[in-house]
């Protein structure tokens, strides 16, 4: 009886990790306002150990910050009869609106292919397209197009060698978040690796929200679209009238 109880407790508790992540952030909330032009998040932490520091292989750190996952329709345009038209399209099931990876060394050196498949860390692993029309050849190029466009826009970032590790215990890095952020929760994952194998990982959330007038307008556009449309039209008319009146005053004064 006691042996069975001991075995059950051992299965429930499991082995204690020799090295674990203790994380800190300069901020865990990003407020989007009218003059928001981006933000820089400082991530720092330490490694909690139950045993002495191993000398080889060295400890490496991988930090991944992901925006909300969204489906994307990618279309290909072709020229027919002198006119550019959409000829093919593929639905990418989900792709993060923002994704940044910071590492302490080249990614291929700190994360094995097997663990990348398991944890879906690299940028291509985070873009998923399941199924495509039968008449579309090489559907992977549509996913590649999402990666290329968002990389060029600064929404996808591979920051190799930007995580500083001090004495195999303290680590820190900073990630620049652009102005065109999508509102929502941004899961932030930290991986400790040795020899490319993940030995510990930790996850937290960065909250990105509109505030103030932007929050009110955002809610109004979704909860009462008719009122939002009338308000937008009234503002446009008032702005046009104001500009015309100011022009008339300036012309009379001249």
Instruction: Give the per-residue pLDDT at 189.
Output: 93
* C-alpha span between 73 and 191 (Å, rounded): 31
CATH number at residue 111: 2.60.40.3880
Domain extent for 164: 15-68+95-210
228 and 105 co-located in one domain:
no
User: In this predicted model, which residue has the larger pLDDT, 18 or 62?
Assistant: 62
pLDDT level of residue 49 (50, 70, 90 thresholds): confident
pLDDT level of residue 5 (50, 70, 90 thresholds): very low
Note the pLDDT tens digit of each residue in 56-91.
788 999 999 999 988 877 777 666 666 766 666 777
157 and 108 co-located in one domain:
yes
254 and 191 co-located in one domain:
no
Q: Mean pLDDT lowest for which of 27-31, 129-133, 177-181, 188-192?
A: 129-133
**For range 10-32, the mean pLDDT:** 61
Structurally, the chain folds into a number of domains equal to 2
228 and 185 co-located in one domain:
no
Other beta carbons within 10 angstroms of residue 236's beta carbon come to: 10
User: For the CA atoms of the chain, what is the radius of gyration?
Assistant: 25
pLDDT level of residue 8 (50, 70, 90 thresholds): very low
Instruction: Give the per-residue pLDDT at 212.
Output: 52
Instruction: Give the per-residue pLDDT at 128.
Output: 74
In a domain, residue 73? The reply is no
Look at residue 182 and tell me whether its pLDDT is greater than 50.
Answer: yes
pLDDT level of residue 122 (50, 70, 90 thresholds): very high
Taking a C-beta distance cutoff of 8 angstroms, is the pair 101, 62 a contact? Answer: yes
In a domain, residue 115? The reply is yes
| Closest listed residue to residue 181, CA positions, set 44, 41, 73 | 41
Instruction: Give the per-residue pLDDT at 250.
Output: 66
In a domain, residue 107? The reply is yes
| Closest listed residue to residue 90, CA positions, set 72, 105, 112 | 72
With a pLDDT cut of 90, the percent of the chain lying above it is 24
């Amino acid at each position: 009886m006691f042996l069975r109880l001991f075995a059950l407790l051992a299965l429930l508790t499991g082995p204690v990790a020799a090295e674990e992540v203790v994380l800190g952030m300069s901020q865990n909330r990003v407020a989007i306002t009218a003059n928001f032009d981006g933000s820089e998040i400082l991530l720092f932490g330490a490694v909690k150990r139950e045993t002495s520091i191993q000398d080889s292989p060295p400890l490496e750190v991988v930090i991944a910050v992901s925006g909300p996952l969204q489906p994307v329709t990618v279309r290909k345009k072709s020229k027919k009869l002198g006119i550019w038209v959409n000829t093919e399209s593929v639905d990418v099931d989900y792709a993060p609106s923002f994704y940044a990876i910071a590492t302490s060394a080249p990614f291929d050196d700190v994360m094995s292919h097997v663990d990348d498949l398991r944890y879906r860390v690299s940028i291509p692993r985070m873009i998923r397209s399941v199924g495509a029309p039968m008449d579309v050849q090489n559907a992977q190029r549509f996913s590649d197009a999402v990666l290329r466009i968002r990389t060029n826009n600064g929404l996808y970032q591979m920051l190799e060698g930007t995580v500083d590790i001090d004495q195999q215990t303290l680590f820190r890095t900073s990630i620049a978040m652009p102005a065109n952020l999508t509102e929502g929760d941004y899961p932030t994952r930290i991986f400790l690796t040795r020899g490319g194998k993940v030995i510990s990982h930790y996850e937290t959330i960065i909250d990105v929200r509109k505030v103030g007038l932007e929050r009110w307008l955002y809610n109004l556009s979704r909860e009462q679209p008719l009122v939002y449309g009338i308000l937008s039209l009234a503002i446009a008319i008032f702005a046009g009238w104001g500009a015309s009146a100011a022009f008339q005053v300036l012309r009379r004064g001249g």
